[in-house]
């Protein structure tokens, strides 16, 4: 029986219970009897003792990972032993609870094959089985391997390298010439404790970024995983999240950051916006509550021309953030070191994304970036307004003057239109174009002060029906039952559930089918026979809802019985 307790993208902490014995993961399986799980060397092979069960780890023909020969999967009382290489058609029956790979050590210095093998194994195993890679875990790599979806490791590699006089610590491999096996095992245990803490706070990617530079193999492993494993990693990214730091260049390639950039590639400016205003980011998130952006706001919103101005925040690692999206994740959650220095990769990314927005057409462009003007220099003609600090009185006065000059003679746009168009872009960012068109028909409008917008529709009897509202505390638009039904009827991804009385949260055991595009943190719509029964926040991704039979699938906000 597997209970998933917390998640951080592909990584998770779990409690696995069998024969009334519990195993908490991620964990290291030792080589001495601890009454739970350990590996014994017996004759020419090894035996895994797993919660009262003996599982031979070597039997029959011992193929190697690069032999090209697939070996038969051996299953002992729900524990499957799979030797590398991984079969293309690898599948497990419902009785399998743990997948063991006894020859994973052969991948140790081959990051490309590590990525490929783990993705293949994890996809075949699904979310409802533990994955154990024997001989591959070490202090410098365990965070990365857990981040990729590995649950169980062992002390084989730490002990073997220790006997050879090599000290393994999370930051490096150090040759001492002494027996370091016990020190290596201790370092592994301490690192796994850190891994569990980072998973529980949904920040394991930060630890993986820190550990990657420890060895050339680790650097390559994370780079290859971010590039070639993006779809696999992105599937388990959360739509909402906690505060996180981007302190390395590799953090620019986080899957949630890449996902944001992909959605921004579809961004289109509201048709009525005629002046583009480039603004710097702020340490406080979301930007609109920071002191600096409140100062900018005092210059922007002093005349009716403010509805003609499109605010665009220029930043790394996101590139650009339109004002209407600044309370969404990840714009509301990231931290970066502020030194005034920009890496070439950051500059190239920002210039490409700002250039894409500029190409959408503007009457004029005002730049309030100050020293960071170099990031956009030469992309278009623009008026620069900063004198010294961007929030100095002279700078704010210049900004006010530049915006008044840029909009001189232009007819102001009504605030209702401006608010509707902002809401349209917010819906498009969260739900996509098709869903936005379903919700924003000719009878739909937004009310409220940014960012607390509420979406209403007026029916044929002039009755006002609320469809949803944006809440910065959640960082997304929350639907009502009526809004959810519109999307469900229009083919938006939903969760099919059994017909039963819903008393609280929706658990995975009640899920019949879930769209695989659903992410943790998404607005979740659960239906039965086409009718919306639950609206809330997804606590699992779509595939996990189908694989698991325990745990909360949707944190319920509205329910209909």
Q: What is the CATH number of the domain that holds 497?
A: 2.30.130.10
Domain membership of residue 419 (yes or no) is: no
Residues 177 and 271 in one domain: no
CATH number, domain of 277, equals 3.40.50.10630
Domain membership of residue 389 (yes or no) is: yes
pLDDT of 302 above 90:
no
**CB count in 10 Å sphere of residue 76:** 16
Contact of 472 with 332, CB cutoff 8 Å = yes
Domain membership of residue 188 (yes or no) is: yes
Q: What mean pLDDT do residues 154-177 have?
A: 95
pLDDT of 59 above 80:
no
With CA atoms as reference, report the closest residue to 322 among 278, 356, 283.
278
Residues 39 and 145 in one domain: yes
Q: Which domain range does residue 209 map to?
A: 2-232
DSSP one-letter code for 502: -
Give me the pLDDT at residue 64, please.
Answer: 67
Domain count, the chain: 3
pLDDT of 71 above 80:
no
Residues 169 and 28 in one domain: yes
pLDDT of 62 above 80:
no
Domain membership of residue 425 (yes or no) is: no
Q: What mean pLDDT do residues 475-483 have?
A: 97
Query: pTM to 2 decimals?
Result: 0.93
Domain membership of residue 240 (yes or no) is: no
Last residue in a domain, options 391, 406, 421: 406
193 CB contacts (<8 Å, ≥6 apart)?
none
CATH number, domain of 24, equals 3.20.20.105
Residues 154 and 222 in one domain: yes
- Distance between CA 493 and CA 487 in Å, rounded? 8
The half-sphere exposure of 463 on its side-chain side, counting CA atoms within 13 A, is: 5
Residues 507 and 452 in one domain: yes
Domain membership of residue 250 (yes or no) is: no
Contact of 435 with 427, CB cutoff 8 Å = yes
Domain membership of residue 41 (yes or no) is: yes
pLDDT of 523 above 90:
yes
Residues 19 and 96 in one domain: yes
- C-alpha radius of gyration, the chain, whole number: 27
User: Higher pLDDT residue, 409 or 72?
Assistant: 409
Last residue in a domain, options 359, 389, 406: 406
Residues 387 and 445 in one domain: no
Give me the pLDDT at residue 61, please.
Answer: 58
Per-residue pLDDT band at 206 (split at 50, 70, 90):
very high
Beta strands at 464-471 and 476-479: parallel, antiparallel or unpaired: antiparallel
Cα 539 to the center of its chain, rounded Å: 13
Residues 380 and 503 in one domain: no
Domain membership of residue 186 (yes or no) is: yes
Q: What is the mean pLDDT of the chain?
A: 94
Residues 90 and 224 in one domain: yes
E strands, 45-116, are: 45-50, 53-56, 74-76, 79-81, 98-101
Q: Which two tokens stand for residue 545?
A: 């809802």
């Amino acid at each position: 029986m597997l209970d998933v307790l917390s998640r951080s993208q592909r990584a998770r902490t779990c409690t696995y219970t069998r024969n009334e014995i519990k195993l908490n993961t991620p964990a290291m399986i030792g080589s001495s009897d601890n009454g739970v799980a350990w590996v014994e060397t017996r004759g020419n092979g090894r035996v895994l003792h797993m919660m009262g069960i003996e599982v031979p780890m070597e039997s029959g023909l011992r193929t190697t990972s690069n032999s090209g020969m697939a070996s038969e999967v051996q299953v002992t009382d729900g524990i499957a032993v799979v030797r590398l290489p991984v079969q293309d058609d690898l599948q497990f029956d419902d009785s399998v609870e743990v997948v063991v790979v006894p020859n994973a050590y052969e991948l140790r210095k081959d990051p490309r094959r590590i990525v490929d093998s783990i993705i293949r194994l994890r996809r075949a195993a699904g979310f409802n089985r533990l994955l154990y890679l024997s001989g591959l875990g070490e202090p410098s790599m365990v965070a990365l391997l857990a981040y990729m979806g590995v649950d169980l490791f062992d002390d084989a590699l730490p002990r073997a390298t220790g006997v050879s006089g090599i000290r393994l610590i999370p930051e490096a491999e150090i040759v001492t010439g002494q027996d370091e096996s016990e020190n290596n095992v201790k370092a592994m245990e301490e690192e796994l404790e850190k891994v569990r803490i980072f998973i529980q706070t949904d920040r394991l990617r930060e630890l993986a970024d820190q550990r990657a530079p420890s060895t050339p193999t680790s650097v390559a492993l994370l780079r290859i995983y971010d590039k070639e494993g993006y779809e696999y990693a992105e599937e388990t990214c959360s739509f909402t999240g906690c505060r996180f730091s981007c302190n390395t260049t590799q953090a620019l390639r986080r899957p949630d950051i890449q996902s944001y950039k992909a959605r921004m590639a579809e961004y289109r400016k509201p048709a009525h916006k005629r002046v583009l205003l480039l603004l710097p980011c702020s340490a406080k998130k979301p930007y609109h509550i920071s002191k600096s952006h409140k100062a900018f706001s005092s210059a922007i919103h002093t005349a009716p021309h403010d509805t003609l101005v499109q605010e665009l925040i220029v930043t790394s690692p996101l590139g650009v953030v339109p004002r209407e999206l600044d309370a969404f994740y990840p714009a509301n959650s990231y931290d970066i070191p502020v030194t005034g220095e920009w890496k070439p990769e950051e500059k190239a990314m920002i210039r490409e994304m700002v250039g894409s927005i500029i190409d959408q057409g503007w009457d004029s462009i005002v730049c309030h970036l100050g020293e960071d003007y170099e990031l956009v220099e030469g992309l278009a003609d623009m008026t620069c307004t900063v004198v010294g600090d961007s929030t100095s009185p002279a700078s704010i006065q210049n900004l006010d003057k530049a915006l008044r000059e840029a909009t001189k003679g232009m007819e102001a746009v009504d605030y209702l239109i401006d608010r509707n168009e902002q809401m349209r872009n917010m819906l498009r960012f969260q739900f996509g174009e098709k869903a936005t068109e379903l919700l924003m028909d000719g009878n739909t409008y937004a009310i409220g002060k940014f960012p607390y917008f509420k979406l209403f529709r007026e029916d044929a009897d002039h009755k006002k029906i609320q469809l949803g509202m944006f809440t910065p505390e959640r960082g997304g638009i929350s639907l009502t039952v009526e809004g959810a039904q519109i999307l469900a009827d229009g083919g938006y991804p939903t969760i099919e559930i059994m017909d039963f009385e819903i008393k609280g949260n929706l658990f995975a055991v009640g899920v019949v089918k879930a769209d695989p595009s659903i992410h943790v943190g998404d607005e979740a719509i659960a239906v039965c026979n086409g009718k919306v029964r639950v609206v809330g926040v997804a606590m699992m991704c779509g595939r996990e809802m189908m694989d698991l039979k325990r745990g909360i699938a949707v944190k319920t906000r509205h329910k209909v019985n």
